[in-house]
Amino acid sequence: MQYFLFFILFSAALVQKYASFSMCSVPHCVCARTRKSVIRVGVTSANSSSPPPVWGNTNLLCLTQLEFSELRRVYMSSGYCYHPPQPTVHTTKTEVCSFTKDDDKATGAVGVLTYDLFHMQSCVCSERMAIMFSVPYDYNFYKNWLGVGVFEVARACDKQLYNHMYKEKDFSKFVRSEASGSGVEYKAQHVDLRATMSNVGKSIIKVELYDKMGRQ
């Protein structure tokens, strides 16, 4: 069976100002043309002197007072969830989830992955981070696209969110770019997002979440 392979490496770092800021990650996949995707989610410290995480290793660099708590929600308009996301991703762990195409359809890997940003002091989810990805089945008509942004926490992760990030030109809540290996960056109120995506069928996405890059 022919398929696409997707990796998302998710890294995060906090400075002292937001040391109590935790991320409650709620991934939702809106796959309009899902083919095959494997999503790797982990947490690491950008300020650590330890070596970078290694693919296939479930232990990442520990980031103090930061945790990703992942409540799985998946919406797919085509394809299906092959390997479900881990309910909770701790700071020293990396987890993987995968989505595959329907065997009898010529579809690509397209969707949205979201994470709720959870503030530990107030115990509320204040914002929702979204990662939009598109890896087409037919490169004669489509290209790889990547989008990252932060929305209000009440914003549903559904087909409307995917269409908004894939098609719309209102970039107040997100940024979008054709994947070429170069990065995109989005600056939200409390965090900065950086992401890269390769432009091949077996695409790799790397996402970093920073607490305003150390700025006060």
Q: Report the pLDDT value the prediction gives residue 90, as an integer from 0 to 100.
A: 53
pLDDT over threshold 50, residue 32: no
- Taking the mean position of all CA atoms in its chain, how far away is CA 189? 18
**Amino acid at the residue 17:** K
pLDDT bracket for residue 99 (50, 70, 90): low
Tell me the residue ranges of DSSP E strands in the chain: 7-13, 21-24, 30-31, 36-42, 68-69, 75-76, 80-83, 88-89, 94-100, 109-119, 124-135, 145-152, 174-178, 183-187, 192-197, 204-210
Q: In terms of C-beta density within 10 A (0-12 exposed, 13-18 middle, 19 or more buried), how is residue 54 classed?
A: exposed
Enter the DSSP assignment of 48.
-
Window from 6-20, 27-41, 182-196 with minimum mean pLDDT: 27-41
Q: Which two tokens stand for residue 113?
A: 């992955």
User: Coil, strand, or helix at residue 162?
Assistant: helix
Q: Is the pLDDT of residue 170 over 50?
A: yes
On average, the pLDDT of the chain sits at 65
pLDDT at 122: 67
- The full set of domain ranges for the chain reads 7-214
SS3 207: strand
Q: What is the pLDDT of residues 1-15, one digit of tens each?
A: 333 445 555 554 433
- The pLDDT, as a whole number, for residue 5 is 44
Give the CATH superfamily of 7-214.
Cytolysin/lectin (2.60.270.20)
Assess contact for 124 and 118: CB atoms under 8 A: yes
Cα 33 to the chain's mean position, in Å? Answer: 17
In this structure, is the dihedral angle defined by the CA atoms of residues 197, 78, 85 and 72, taken in order, positive or negative? positive
